[in-house]
Structures are given as structure tokens and as C-alpha cells.
Structure 1
Amino acid sequence: MPRSARRPPSPTKPLIRRPVRIGSLNAARLVAELRVLHEEAEDPDVGRMPADDELYGALLYLEAHAGALKKHAARRTAALARVTLWEYLREQADIHQAAAVETARTARVEWTDLAPALAVKSASAAYNKATRLRAALLSDLSPDGAPTVPVRRTPEAVLTAERHAAQRAAEERRAQEHAARRHSLIAPVAQRLLDHRDDLDDDEDVAYWLEQIEAVLPECQTPTQLVGLETYLAAAVRSLRTIERTTSRPAAMTPEARLAYTAAAQLVVG
């Protein structure tokens, strides 16, 4: 029975299987360890080896002088380390080349001019390659919307991930702006409640939380301090509501106190 043809994956579908990457690596320390191997092997040219942080030059030296290592264990260790370092360099190249393209575009370099620099033949190919390079800088939501996953190296997937990132950034900005607006209101609303404390029910819990508000209010400057103030304000509102619910009497005795209480209640709920 003939097998049905497999459908190609959607170009925008994220990679479900996370690719193995070198990721973070102390390349200079690894180069230094390889330098020690060459020193122990009495490599006569080791003094010409580039500095530990000159990764590309150091790798070229280690490749050209691999024969200086006579012991099998040293040759094996050095060869594996060089493979790791080249892979690390390849990963870093995508990141830095993508940044260079972005800088060039900011400087109004046309895609036609970028084509030979990216080793492609047309402006559209340069655009697509540059878009694929940005995949190294991105992650996207997984299909269930929870963890992030690497982005497939296709222009469609990269553009989709960038659109998602822009949406998340916009949502975060809106949340921060909302929090800033709330913080700007907390201190004056709390002060207004204190101004009318004599016209609020003098229940023990209410009095306690108003005292906490009075103690912290003069020093409230930082976001953390404002969060603490909001916590005390919410507790005072809860105590006032408990009074109204359990005694069937108003917690605020005057219209002004009622307005102050209502404003506090709306702020801590909203």
C-alpha cells in the first residue's frame, strides 16, 4: 500500500523540537586551556598564538599547529574543543551579522547593495537571508501559548515571531502605563481617606490600617513603597466593607468621607 506523501511543515510553525545549541560559553577560557596543551607539548610557535579573546585567530592557529600535539589524549581533547568553538563562532556570527544588517539598513543601505555582502544575487534574496538571520535573536510562543521555542529559519516564521514580540511589548507597555497611573493616584487617595478618618467608623481594624497608611505615606516614593501603601489601603477598604456587611450601617458618616471611601474602593479593585 503506497504511503501518503508527508506534508511540508508550515513555514510559520515554530520548531517543536528544540535544537541543540552551544549557547553561552566562556570561549576565552577554553582557548586558554588549549594554549596550555600546546605549551605542555612544547609547541615552538606557541608564542605566536593570538590572545585568548581573539577567537577566530586562535582557532586558525590551533588548526595549523594541531600536529604539535604528540599525545593522543591531547589531540583528541583539542580537536573536540575546536569543533565546539567553531560551532559557537557560527552561532555568534548569525547574531552579529543580523545586527550589522540592521545597522546598514538604518544607514539607508539598499537591499541591492547588501546582496553581494550577504553572498546572494538579488535584493529579495538579501532581504530573505537577513530575515532568516534574525531567527537567531528570536523565540516565539509555543503552540499552547506557554513556553518559548526557537523560531524556524524562514522569513514567514521570523516575521510572525517579530509580530508576536511587538504585540507582547505593546501589552507590557500598556500594563506599565496602567500601573503608573494607579501609582500616581494611590498617595492622594490614601491622603484623602486620612483627611476624613474622623468621619469613618472607628472599628479597631479600620483604625489599625489607617495608622499603617499614616505611617508609610510620607515616605512613599518608590514603586515598592507604593505597592506597600496600596496593600494597606486595600486592607482598610476591606475592613470598612466588613463593617457595612455585618452591621448594616454605613462605614462613612458624611458625604465627603463617603466619596473618599468610594475612591479608595474603586482604586484597589480597579
Structure 2
Amino acid sequence: MPRHARRTPNPTKPLLRTPNRIGSLDAAAVVGQLRQLHEDAEDKDVERMPDDKELFQALLYLEARVGALRDKKAQRVAAIERVRLWEYLREQVDLHQSRAIADARAADVQWRDLAPALAVNTSSAAYNKAARLKAASLSDASLGDRPVRRTPEAVAEVERQLAARAAAERQAQREATRRHALLAPVAQRLLDHREDLSDDDEVVYWLDEIAEVLPHCETPTQRVGLSTYMQAVIRELKRVEARAGKQAATTDAARLAYAAARELFT
């Protein structure tokens, strides 16, 4: 029976199985619990144990003084927690070393100069190792919160996706700013004639929202909010007209303001 050739995984494809990670952990609290175990065991050197926040040094102390725990249950608990803390520390090291590399590159440090610090021999090896480390910092930010394969290709692909997303957000903000120049005076006209518009509860609510944000509409988020509120009040005015069978504005000026608002969103 012929054997099927093994497929080589796409290097840019995220891992299909999410690896287990320690993630967020109150390491100081765990160290404090281990300190208590040593105090209960009357460890004669426990006063020399580093502070709970000094994780690395505390772990070295716990390793050196493992014999001070005579109770088997305490030994098992302490050993498991030490394994967990080392794994947590490893995750933090990847993240922070990646940030240090990014800072070095921002300071115009060349890959050949980073190679010795990364314990590799060539510029290309330094680049590839940095890419693998960067995967740790991209795991939480990657699309769908999926982990990133530790390959330069996968990291480059996720960075491309994130850059595209950031570019789209900037474009949306620019568009919101452009539309705001048109939208703000139309919104103000609606407010000027709100007494001549329907007093339906939903219409009044959205006009109040517009009145609240319009005087302070400076940030892209606020401008997007104003556009959302305008669309909502137009929707509610249309609903009032469909239900009542008559115009939602009672004066020519209010009707013109309403028509201008509708035209912006057609």
C-alpha cells in the first residue's frame, strides 16, 4: 500500500493547536506561599530568602533549600510550584528580550552587533532568533488571538496583517475627520430646529446624544460617535414617519435640516 508523502506545514500558518501557557500569574503571591511552607518546616535560613517580588533569586533559594522541606506533601507542592514559576519566568523572558531587541534596532544597532548578545554567530541567525522571540509578543495581538508559529515567515505575516489593520484604522479616522467637516454643521442645524421635530422618545434620546458630543467633538472616536448618533436619529425619524404616515418635521427649516442630514447618509 503506497505511503502518502508527509506535507510540510506552511511556515506562515498559525499553530492549529493552541499551546498551553501560564499567562497572567501573581508570581509574588506564589513565592509567598512557598515561603510559608519553609517557615512551617522551620527552615533555619528562611530569613535569608529574597523578597517575594525577586522571583529569580527566590527560585534559586528555594532550589538550594529544597532539603529543608521534610514533609512529602510540602515537597511535592513546592516542586510543582517551582516548575510553574520557572515556566512563567521563561514566558516573561521571551517577551522582554524581544522588546530589548526592538529597542536596540530602534537605536540603529545592526544584526551583526546583536549576534553575540543573542548567543549566535551570524547576522542572519540573530535576525531569525529575534523573529522567533517576537512570536511571543505577537501571540496575544495576532488575529483571532491565535498563537504565532516561531518562524520568521509567520512573524512577518502577522506583522503584515497588523500593519494592514492599523492602516485601515488610520484611514477610517481620516475619513471620519473629513466627514466631520460636513457633518458638524448639519448636526447643529438639526439641534437648532429640534423643537420642530418629532418628540418621540427615541428621537429625543439621540438628539440629546448629539447635543452632548457635538461641542467637544475633537478626537476620531468622538467624530465616529457623532456619525453613529446622526444615523440613529435619522433612522428613528424615518420610523416615526412610517408609523404616523406624515412628516417628522413641522416647519420648512426643520424639514430642510432633516433632508440635509438624510442626504449625508445616502
TM-score over 0.5 for the alignment?
yes
For the residue of structure 2 that corresponds to 1:8, the secondary structure is: coil
For the residue of structure 1 that corresponds to 2:146, the secondary structure is: strand
Which of 158, 162, 165 is the aligned partner of 2:162? Answer: 165
Match of residue 114 from structure 1 = 114
For the residue of structure 1 that corresponds to 2:104, the secondary structure is: helix
Match of residue 259 from structure 2 = 262
Separation (CA, whole Å) in 2 of partners of 1:57 and 1:177: 50
RMSD, aligned α-carbons: 3.2
Kindly provide the amino acid, as one letter, of the partner of residue 86 in structure 2: W
Separation (CA, whole Å) in 2 of partners of 1:194 and 1:134: 51
Separation (CA, whole Å) in 2 of partners of 1:73 and 1:233: 66
TM-score (norm 1): 0.81
Any conservation in 2 of the 1:14–1:150 contact (CA below 8 Å)?
yes
The Cα shift of 1:131 comes to: 1.0
Kindly provide the amino acid, as one letter, of the partner of residue 41 in structure 1: A
Any conservation in 2 of the 1:12–1:160 contact (CA below 8 Å)?
yes
The Cα shift of 1:4 comes to: 2.0
TM-score (norm 2): 0.82
- Which segment is superposed worse, 55-64 or 177-186? 177-186
- Pair 1:40–1:137, CA change in 2 (3 A): same
Match of residue 27 from structure 1 = 27
The Cα shift of 1:3 comes to: 2.0
Identity %: 55
Match of residue 52 from structure 2 = 52
Any conservation in 1 of the 2:193–2:254 contact (CA below 8 Å)?
yes
Separation (CA, whole Å) in 1 of partners of 2:242 and 2:173: 32
Match of residue 67 from structure 1 = 67
- Describe how 1:131-150 pairs up with structure 2 within 5 A: 131-139=131-139, 140-141=142-143, 147-150=144-147
Match of residue 144 from structure 1 = none
Any conservation in 1 of the 2:98–2:133 contact (CA below 8 Å)?
yes
1:175 aligns with 2:169: no
- Pair 1:167–1:217, CA change in 2 (3 A): closer
Match of residue 76 from structure 1 = 76
Structure 1 spans left out of the alignment, 5+ residues = 142-146
- Pair 1:213–1:50, CA change in 2 (3 A): closer
Separation (CA, whole Å) in 2 of partners of 1:74 and 1:31: 14
1:207 aligns with 2:204: no
- Which segment is superposed worse, 208-217 or 66-75? 208-217
Any conservation in 1 of the 2:237–2:248 contact (CA below 8 Å)?
no
The Cα shift of 1:240 comes to: 7.9
How many positions carry a matched residue from both structures? Answer: 255
Separation (CA, whole Å) in 2 of partners of 1:25 and 1:163: 31
Separation (CA, whole Å) in 2 of partners of 1:49 and 1:67: 14
The Cα shift of 1:190 comes to: 2.7
Kindly provide the amino acid, as one letter, of the partner of residue 116 in structure 1: P
Any conservation in 2 of the 1:187–1:217 contact (CA below 8 Å)?
no
